[in-house]
Structure 1
């Protein structure tokens, strides 16, 4: 269920795979996304199961209404289920409050400065990378006292540059903003490497402690992939500070 989990000086990072939940085909099993056509009661159960495995209170998990933008919001408590604002990044200084990102190929970015007691989470797909969601979430964390040189950054399972085929013009447009995203697929066509782009932006902003997941969602049948399956579930990535 929880494919990866890391703990560092009070900061926790966790990434789910697709197994251990109650959703039916094509969302099987641990779909955590509420806007992909799955039964709401299945998603609710899955979110409770994932939280229980992580030792979290499901009522203390902050979910976003992700729109592929750059809006970064400071949160002190979860929103009411029918009042979740559009955003692609959230930050908090509250211990025990978990921030969650939903993905199925996009890059989930988790950030923590344990010294300042600040964590952040961002949904960085191709549009968000270009729009600047990475600098936006870093700026919001700095407003709360975080320092880039202290921040631990982790990215979760995402489509890799060898698999993310795009038209040549799109590759050119993305690379004009983030040159490090320029890539070629394993079969020789134009591609975008969002993971590399996120890493380059973090480095440029002074973040040195960066670790990327080795999982490519399109290649791994243990993970949801929109590009591979189209109608599918969503993985979740969580970050929180020990209370």
Structure 2
């Protein structure tokens, strides 16, 4: 299915978030040595440091969102796990060689064990400009039953996939995930003014857009140490 043929279902009428409890958010963090390979030409040897900075700023903002009850990070990276745990995240060891979507399903199962009545969402860990208020608006737009997702800035991928308590999450992340999540029956959240929740970062150009939005302190500090955006080797 192409982007133009995506036809989201109509959402049910919303219910107050307070009636649904605090959200559980699950974030995936790759081993830092392997993360954000497309940033290599821009960030050089600081690429792992920049990937960690993205995750730290994303988790910090997510924990500050008033609708979020807990943040769980699925990772096998001991450095990332240690620093994210200090922020207050619950660290869940990812399944070895399972890939992104199995790791997210694993994290979702863990989240349901510790908060079985809470609504659940998977959030990209590379949202360094994330604003707690914008995340709250997105979570508040999730229907009370079923599944919903938010597309990334280009409209091809997905930065957030949510489901109600007891519903199957069914993550299908990877290239073209917007079309896959829509084809799987998830409702697409169409909020137009939540750029910080849509702007994930894979390239130097993506980072330039995130910096223009205003990134968190960890990303700002590392970004100041790498080559100027757009400078060629």
Q: Which has the higher strand share?
A: 1
TM-score (norm 1): 0.32
| TM-score with structure 2 setting the length | 0.33
